[in-house]
Structure 1
Amino acid sequence: MISAIDLSHKALRWQELIQSAAQSIRPVVQLSDQQRLVWLDLSGANTRLAAIQVADTGGLDAFICAECSRQEGIGGIGGYMEDRRLYLRSAVFAGEEHRTLHLGVDIWLPAHTPIYAALGGRVHSFADNAGFGNYGPTIILEHQLEEITFYTLYGHLSRQSLLELEEGKPVAAGEQIASLGTAEENGDWPPHLHFQIMLDMEGMKGDYPGVAAPSRADYYRLRCPDPNILLKFPL
C-alpha cells in the first residue's frame, strides 16, 4: 500500500499528466450531437427519491427514467462522493458503519449500450461480482502515463463483456470493451455504468470498493480522483 504522503504526490502528478494527455482521452459512451446526459441527484437529500422503495429495482429504474425524461435527457450521470441511501437496500454495504458514499460516477443508459475505454492500457483484472447490490461483471484497466500507473474500473456490465478476456490484454483508447448489463446480471440495478479511477489497487483484483463509509471520505478521495476529469461531462 502506498503511504498517504506518496499518494498525495502521486495524485498531484497524475493530474498534471492527465491534463497533458487530454487529446488521448476518449468518451466511454458515444452520444450524438442531439443526445445529452442529465445530472441525477441520488443523494439522501433528494426528497423525490425519499418516496421510492430503494430495494425495488423496477421502481428505482422508473424513477431514474422519469427524471431523465423530465430533464429531456437520453440518460443520467452523476454521483461522485454523493451520500446515497440507495445502499441501504443491500447487505453488501452493511457493517459497523453502513457504506453510503459513492466513489465513482454513474452513467445511466439502457442495457446493452456499448462501453469504450477512456484511455489506452491493458486489462488489469476482471470478475463477475455477483450478488444483490454488487458490481456484477466488472473490468479494471491499468494505464501508464510516464512514471504513473493508475486504474479505471467499469462496473455493472453484461456477462458477455467478460468472455475471452485475459489479464494483460492490450486495450486501445476508444476501443469497445464492454456493454451494459441488465438488472438480472449487473447486481440487480437499473442499467448503468459505474466508472471509477483508482491510483492504488491495494492488492485487489477484479474488484475495488465503489462505495465507502462516510468516515472514510478523505481516505478514498485521495485514492479515487473525480472521474469527470476523464469523462468531461458538463455536470
Structure 2
Amino acid sequence: MSLSSFQAFLKSLSTFPLLGDSMSKEDYIALDLSVNNSDLKSVNVSSSIALEVFIWDFMAKHNAKASYGGYLEQRSIYRRSDYFNQDTPEEERNIHLGLDLWIEASAPIFSPLDAKIHSFRNNTNYGDYGPTIILEHNLENNKFYTLYGHLSLESLVDLKVGKEIKQGQQIATLGTAEVNGDYPPHLHFQIIKDIQEFEGDYPGVSNHHDLEFYKENCPDPGLLLGLF
C-alpha cells in the first residue's frame, strides 16, 4: 500500500483516545520542543527536572491538562546521550518519529484499536524508551503496529505475546523519569508499517540520512488520533 493510501486508511479509522475519553480537545495544547523554539534556549533540556518545569508551566499557562507534538521535530535534547550521538552531524539521531503526549506519571494509557501484544521490553539505555509495548493491528486486511514508550515498570507485568487487546482497553500507565529514560512523564506514540525484525523496540528518532525511509514507514501518528 502506498503511503498516501495508508494515510487515508488511518484517517478513516474510528479510534479510542490514548489518554481516555474523559478529556476533550480543549484539554490539550500543542507543544514545540524543536531547536527552533526560542523559549527553550534558556532551559537546560539535558535535565529532566528543568524540562518538566518548562512543560508544566506551559500547560498551566494555557489551562491544559496535557500537551502533544513532536512528529518529525528536530530536537537538541538527544545530544545528552551517547545512544543518539554519532560521529558526524549527518549520523546524529535527533529527528523525532513519534508523537509525544505529555501528562503526569501514572496516567492510564488506552489502546486506540483492537490489537494483540506483538512484543514488549524495558529499553534501559540512557535517553531510551524505558518500558515499551508494541501492539499489532490487523484491520481491513491491513497489518500495522503501534508503539508505546516511556511506560511504568508495572505496565510490563504479566504481559504475554499474542494477548488480545480490545479497543479502549487500558494497556499501561506512564512511568517517571527514574524508569522512562530520564524524561518528564509522557507517552511516545508511534505508528510502524513494517516492524522488520524488531521486538519490544523500534527506532523513535532518526538522523537526516535515514529520514526518508522512516517518513514512509512511520507516518504521522496524528492521522490515527483524530484529536488534533
So what's the TM-score if we normalise by structure 2? 0.94
Secondary structure, counterpart of 1:214 in structure 2: coil
**Whole-angstrom CA distance in 1 between matches of 2:25 and 2:211:** 37
Tell me whether 1:176 sits opposite 2:176 in the alignment. no
Conserved in 2, the CA contact under 8 Å of 1:17 and 1:145?
no
**Whole-angstrom CA distance in 1 between matches of 2:62 and 2:193:** 34
Tell me whether 1:38 sits opposite 2:24 in the alignment. no
Secondary structure, counterpart of 1:91 in structure 2: coil
Secondary structure, counterpart of 2:188 in structure 1: strand
The partner residue of 2:139 within 145, 149, 155 is: 145
By how many angstroms is 1:10 displaced? 4.4
Residue type at the aligned position of 1:27: P
**Whole-angstrom CA distance in 2 between matches of 1:33 and 1:65:** 18
Residue type at the aligned position of 2:155: S
What is the total number of aligned residue pairs between the two structures?
224
Aligned residue in 2 for 1:5: none
Aligned residue in 1 for 2:224: 230
Aligned residue in 2 for 1:198: 192
The partner residue of 2:161 within 154, 164, 167 is: 167
Quick one: structure 1 residues 212 and 121, their matched pair in 2 at CA, closer, same or farther if it must change by over 3 Å? same
Root-mean-square deviation over aligned CA pairs: 1.5
The partner residue of 2:208 within 194, 206, 214 is: 214
**Whole-angstrom CA distance in 2 between matches of 1:111 and 1:62:** 14
**Whole-angstrom CA distance in 1 between matches of 2:175 and 2:26:** 21
Among all aligned residue pairs of Structure 1 and Structure 2, give the percentage whose two residues are the same amino acid: 43
Secondary structure, counterpart of 1:87 in structure 2: helix
Quick one: structure 1 residues 34 and 168, their matched pair in 2 at CA, closer, same or farther if it must change by over 3 Å? closer
Offset from partner CA, 1:122-163 (integer Å, 9 cap, x none): 000000001321100000000012322100000000000000
**Whole-angstrom CA distance in 2 between matches of 1:70 and 1:215:** 38
Secondary structure, counterpart of 1:233 in structure 2: coil
The partner residue of 2:62 within 63, 66, 71 is: 71
**Whole-angstrom CA distance in 2 between matches of 1:213 and 1:131:** 18
By how many angstroms is 1:121 displaced? 1.0
Aligned residue in 2 for 1:108: 102
Aligned residue in 2 for 1:4: none
Moved more, 29-38 or 189-198: 29-38
Conserved in 2, the CA contact under 8 Å of 1:153 and 1:196?
yes
Unmatched runs of 5 consecutive residues or more in structure 2: none
Tell me whether 1:51 sits opposite 2:42 in the alignment. yes
Secondary structure, counterpart of 2:215 in structure 1: helix
Unmatched runs of 5 consecutive residues or more in structure 1: 1-8
The partner residue of 1:29 within 4, 13, 19 is: 19
Quick one: structure 1 residues 33 and 224, their matched pair in 2 at CA, closer, same or farther if it must change by over 3 Å? closer
So what's the TM-score if we normalise by structure 1? 0.91
Secondary structure, counterpart of 1:50 in structure 2: helix
Moved >6 Å (runs of 4+)? none
Offset from partner CA, 1:165-207 (integer Å, 9 cap, x none): 0110000011000000011111111000000000011111000
**Whole-angstrom CA distance in 1 between matches of 2:18 and 2:119:** 18
Aligned residue in 2 for 1:83: 74
Offset from partner CA, 1:28-63 (integer Å, 9 cap, x none): 102434861111110001111121112111001101
